[in-house]
Each structure stands twice: as structure tokens, then as C-alpha cells.
């Protein structure tokens, strides 16, 4: 009976966090939908995908997975874990910067710190890829992409604490995609219809 009660409490806790996520309002240039979450990483999981764009121009994309293990995890240092994948095109010159890894990581930590999103055990990677075209493709411009994979344990004293982490994640994907912060006094948030799940993430985030 106690086990059933604990299971019910864990389910209710997770569901309340999902509700808080789905009530979050996103910037007008951030389009969000739910997607099928990976099932092997934790007992409970939830995932969303964001596409960034303006005037039919794709600027970047991101995926965020929330995991919950009621028994907790030593590696997580908690019972919840957020796992993120962010990709966007970037300036070709940026990929030659020897400090790009440190810079990309600072975008992540500063986004959390500036929004007072409390967290533990952050981990991640910053990867840049450049492409130059030759032969019949030499008219194509040079391209470069930055990919930031991160995971962290949110400190959630209340269900609404997840909101600061969503705001930080939105700030991160917008910064990576080159979207400037909105001017003060302009609301960055609009209601977004939720869709999905659309597809399974598979193993793409399993290494976080």
C-alpha cells in the first residue's frame, strides 16, 4: 500500500511539472511542440522540440527532455534531470576560435544564472562543424554549425520552479540562433498551441 502511495505521489508530481511546462508562454519566433520522449532513461520522461525562425527563415532548433526517477540518482544528485540539445548555424569564423567550447558553455550557465534557475551537476559538450564546398558546389557559401548538448539537475522546491529553467533554455536557444533579447517593456511571451507527440527521440539524447 505504501509503495502504491509513493508511486501515485511521484506520478502526480511529474504530471504537475508537465502542466507547468505546457502553460509556459514562448516568444513569437519560437515554435514549440511535444514529441515522444525516450523511455529507457528514467521511469518518467517528457520531451519537447523548438524551432526558431523569422519570416520563413529557419534559424535553429532545440530539444528538451525532462526525466524523473522517484528513487533519485547519485549521478544526477536529485530526482529530476533536464537534457537539452541545441543546434544553429553560426558565423564561419567562430569555429576557428580556440575558446568556442568555453564560450558555448558560458552561454548555458549564464542563461541559468541570470534567471536564478537553481541547479546541480551540470554536464555537456559544445561541438562546432564547418563545411566548405568545392567543384560543382563551389558557389555554395561556407557553412558552420554549433551544437550544444547539456544536462543538469533542476532544484525544484515548487512545481513553478521549472519556469525559470524553461526561460533559461529559451534564452539559450535564442542566443545560439542569433536572436537578440526583446526590448524592455515588450512581452516576450505568447500562448502557443501544443501538439504531439510527433516522433520518438530514439537514442539521440542517451549520452547525456
Confirm whether 167 is domain-assigned.
yes
Rounded to two decimals, the pTM is 0.81
Indicate the number of domains in the chain: 1
Confirm whether 194 is domain-assigned.
no
pLDDT of 188 reads 46
Confirm whether 36 is domain-assigned.
yes
pLDDT of 57 reads 76
pLDDT of 195 reads 45
Report how far residue 111's alpha carbon sits from residue 156's, in angstroms, rounded to the nearest whole number: 17
Report how far residue 170's alpha carbon sits from residue 166's, in angstroms, rounded to the nearest whole number: 6
> Pseudo-torsion of CA 47, 124, 115, 30, nearest 10°?
-40
Confirm whether 27 is domain-assigned.
yes
Report how far residue 168's alpha carbon sits from residue 87's, in angstroms, rounded to the nearest whole number: 16
**Sheet arrangement for strand 30-35:** 30-35, 44-54, 57-73, 78-89, 143-154, 119-131
Q: What is the residue range of 122's domain?
A: 2-176
Low-confidence ranges of the chain (pLDDT < 70): 1-5, 55, 91-95, 131-133, 141, 182-208
pLDDT of 208 reads 47
Amino acid at each position: 500500500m505504501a509503495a502504491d502511495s509513493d508511486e501515485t505521489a511521484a506520478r502526480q508530481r511529474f504530471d504537475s511539472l508537465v502542466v507547468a511546462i505546457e502553460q509556459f508562454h514562448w516568444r513569437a519566433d519560437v515554435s514549440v511542440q511535444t514529441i515522444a520522449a525516450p523511455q529507457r532513461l528514467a521511469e518518467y520522461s517528457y520531451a519537447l522540440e523548438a524551432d526558431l525562425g523569422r519570416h520563413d527563415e529557419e534559424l535553429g532548433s532545440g530539444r528538451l527532455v525532462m526525466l524523473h526517477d522517484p528513487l533519485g540518482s547519485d549521478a544526477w544528485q536529485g530526482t529530476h534531470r533536464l537534457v537539452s540539445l541545441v543546434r544553429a548555424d553560426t558565423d564561419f569564423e567562430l569555429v576557428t576560435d580556440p575558446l568556442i567550447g568555453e564560450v558555448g558553455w558560458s552561454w548555458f550557465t549564464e542563461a541559468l544564472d541570470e534567471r536564478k534557475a537553481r541547479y546541480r551537476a551540470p554536464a555537456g559538450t559544445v561541438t562546432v562543424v564547418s563545411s566548405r564546398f568545392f567543384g560543382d558546389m563551389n558557389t555554395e557559401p561556407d557553412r558552420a554549425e554549433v551544437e550544444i548538448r547539456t544536462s543538469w539537475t533542476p532544484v525544484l522546491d515548487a512545481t513553478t520552479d521549472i519556469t525559470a529553467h524553461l526561460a533559461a533554455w529559451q534564452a539559450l536557444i535564442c542566443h545560439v540562433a542569433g536572436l537578440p533579447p526583446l526590448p524592455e517593456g515588450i512581452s516576450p511571451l505568447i500562448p502557443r498551441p501544443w501538439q504531439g507527440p510527433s516522433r520518438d527521440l530514439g537514442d539521440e539524447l542517451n549520452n547525456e
